[in-house]
Amino acid sequence: MRQKEFENRYQQTWDAFAQKLDQVESIKRRKSVLNNDLKRYDEDYRTLCYCLSLARERQYSPYLIKRLEKLVFRGHQVFYQRKIGIFYQIYRFILFGFPAAVRKQSKFIWIATGIFYLPALIIFALVLLFPELVYSIVEPGQVAEIESMYDPGLDKIGRGRDRASDTDFAMFGHYVWNNIGIAFREFAGGFMATLGTLFYLIFNALFFGALSAHMINAGFEQPFFTFVSGHAPYELTGIVLAGAAGIKLGWAIISPGNFSRKQALINVGRECMVLVYGAIFLLLIAAFVEAFWSSNASIAPIIKYSVGIAGWLLVIVYLTLMGRGRIGESE
Amino acid sequence: MLDTRKEIEIPEGITLDLPVAGLIPRAQAFIIDLIIRYIAVWILAAIFSFMGNFGFGLIMLMLFIIEWFYPVLFEVFSKGQTPGKKALGIAVVNDDGSPVGWSSSIVRNLLRAADFMPFMYGFGIVSMMFNRDFKRLGDLAAGTMVIHTEKKKKKKKKTEAKLLDQYRPLAPKTNLTLEDQHAIINFVERSELLSTSRLNELADYLSPWMSNTKGKNPPQSDLSPATQKLFKMAAWLRGGQ
């Protein structure tokens, strides 16, 4: 068949299909189109693919082939787009997707837990024994600044004098921006064969461990621990989860197994993201608690400690028990 | 072939050639987005700063969303194109050519932090240079790539068919190989991009092999006889009678 005949025969189909694509692609008109006009979309799309392969086989002009390719690509994008439904996905994620993923990745999470808590505990003990050691980990100026945040005389703990007038909501915004940003960088650091993640985990561990011990040495333990107890379960778990995701990502580069490094990375990337979403979820809770609950100095310490312990139990029960038996569904 | 095209096979059993976008257009798009982001942050900060401390909280939240999710939201809701990418006519797609969804878009954009290291997107640039699909680290992990799409057309181009309708099809005297035929058709298709004198110059290389190109005066155009003859042959090759 000559090209001209071919074009004459199919031109109408192509034009009609292009028109459908125009309609679907413009978001405004999408709703009104869906039912009637798209009935034969799949058939038309396949006809178009057939035309393209014929045109290539018969070596029709490059111009025609390019035109058909463009149409096929647009059709492909419309046909194979994924349904978005984000709210339903978040709901499923919190109810069982996230805890199930944590159990599935327990190996990496235990590793991250060890890498985070062991240095923290060691440096905590060391600073208790040798108080000056804190200055070799945290700069003296910063130590003084942090000390001022937990002065027992303050009515808003954890804010320091210059921040004392900030409202709770302002601090919430600050915590979200700062803490979740750090978690993202911690995860992305895994790309350097886990080294970046290890740096963030250990650095944070030393920082927290040394400061906690220093607060005891300085006699500020009451305001400090009442402040951190409320949000610690969510924040520390969030840091560990982001770290686990980063280590898993880096491990795919170090040891890709039976896949090429590129493919291993893609496979693992999806799984890691569930942990990162989980870390976001926990860090959002942490920021909320930290801003609106932890800083309130008028609540009795015993209540604050109880809430902290309840938080730990909640996190542990949620991650170990929630959504069991529905694992298959959460994939 | 030494070219920046990525061939993908789609379920319908045919292949599509996608033109992968390289470092320069992507960097340009990034800079445009950066400027837009700065302006957005500046305007929002100006508005919210009137709201005191509550406003400060809002600013930090906005900063968080704009810093990390600006590209994600645009890529998911606007066919893989942030405003900067749209301006450059490039778009993000999955490796199989389908539009990016939430998960791949979030992966590739969170890993920006890795691409950015050690400074100024150093790792990202190195990764793009060593990868034949110009993928930065985030693209590698998310299974995405950035391709050229059509920019919005300024004016509708005269189609090849219309162009050739003015010419009476003329069969070539000898049998042409497929390559020769393609060369002739390509020549006509590109004719709109070339100046008339360049067209004539190219076509005149062939005049020693074509008869009847001298002497006859061209009817109403600046095209040389050789060029016109090529056009006629193209019309014949495309299937005119």
Please provide the DSSP assignment of B73-128 as one string. Answer: HHHHHTTT--HHHHHHTEEEEETTSPBP-HHHHHHHHHTHHHHHTTTTTHHHHHHH
| pLDDT band for position A329 (cuts 50, 70, 90) | very low
How far apart are the CA of A214 and the nearest CA of chain B, in angstroms? 30
* Contacts for B200 with CB less than 8 Å, ≥ 6 apart: B222, B223, B224, B226, B227
Q: Is A188 an 8 Å CB contact of chain B?
A: yes
- Two tokens at A11? 């031109």
* Neighbouring C-beta atoms of residue A58, cutoff 10 Å: 12
Residues B56-107: tens digit of each pLDDT = 888 888 888 888 899 999 998 888 899 999 999 999 999 988 889 888 898 8
Span A193-204, mean pLDDT? 92
B200 pLDDT above the threshold of 90: no
Q: Is B96 an 8 Å CB contact of chain A?
A: yes
| pLDDT band for position A7 (cuts 50, 70, 90) | confident
Please check whether residue A239 is in contact with residue A287, taking contact to mean a CB–CB distance below 8 angstroms.
Answer: no
CB < 8 Å from B in window 203-262 of A: 249, 262
Q: Which of B54, B142, B143 sits opposite A167 (nearest CB)?
A: B54
- Two tokens at B72? 């994600």
A154 pLDDT above the threshold of 70: no
Q: Is B148 an 8 Å CB contact of chain A?
A: no
3-state secondary structure of B20: strand
- Two tokens at A27? 């978001």
Cβ pair B14:A52 closer than 8 A: yes
What per-residue confidence (pLDDT) applies to B144? 93
A89 to A168, B66, B103, B235: CA distances (angstroms): 30, 22, 11, 56
Burial of A139 (0-12, 13-18, 19+ CB in 10 A): exposed
Residues A292-325: tens digit of each pLDDT = 888 777 788 888 899 999 999 999 999 988 877 6
Q: Which residue has the higher pLDDT, B155 or B42?
A: B42
DSSP B153: P
Q: What is the pTM of this model?
A: 0.76
Percent of chain B with pLDDT over 70: 87
Q: Is A184 an 8 Å CB contact of chain B?
A: yes
Cβ pair B14:A49 closer than 8 A: yes
Please check whether residue A242 is in contact with residue A279, taking contact to mean a CB–CB distance below 8 angstroms.
Answer: yes
Q: Closest residue of B to A185, CA-based?
A: B113
Domain boundaries, chain A: 3-79, 86-330
| Of A40, A58, A72, the residue nearest B11 (C-alpha) | A72
